[in-house]
Amino acid sequence: MWGGTTFAVGWLMPHLAAFRIAHPGIGRRIWTNIHRVDISKEDLHMAIRFGAGRGIGLEAVPRMEAPLTPLCSPQLAENQ
């Protein structure tokens, strides 16, 4: 599962150079957390979140599939 930091390091950061070249006039401030973000209270223009949902005055746009893989220890699997 893509958590905030995993997504930022694994996908977002490698794409930022191309974004910067394509949109040199757009500034970027990036930080990650695992909490729900209130865009209006945080003075943000956008947020990337895992999962679906909408807020008042917001629009959700799916960007990619995120397959989930359940994992457990071999000992737990043996006991099931």
The structural domain count of the chain equals: 1
pLDDT of residue 20: 92
pLDDT of residue 51: 66
pLDDT of residue 78: 87
pLDDT of residue 66: 73
Listed as ranges, residues in the chain with pLDDT below 70 are 1-4, 51-56
pLDDT of residue 30: 82
Structural domain span for residue 56: 4-78
pLDDT of residue 1: 40
- pTM: predicted TM-score of the whole model, two decimal places: 0.54
What CA–CA distance (Å, rounded) separates 45 from 2? 22
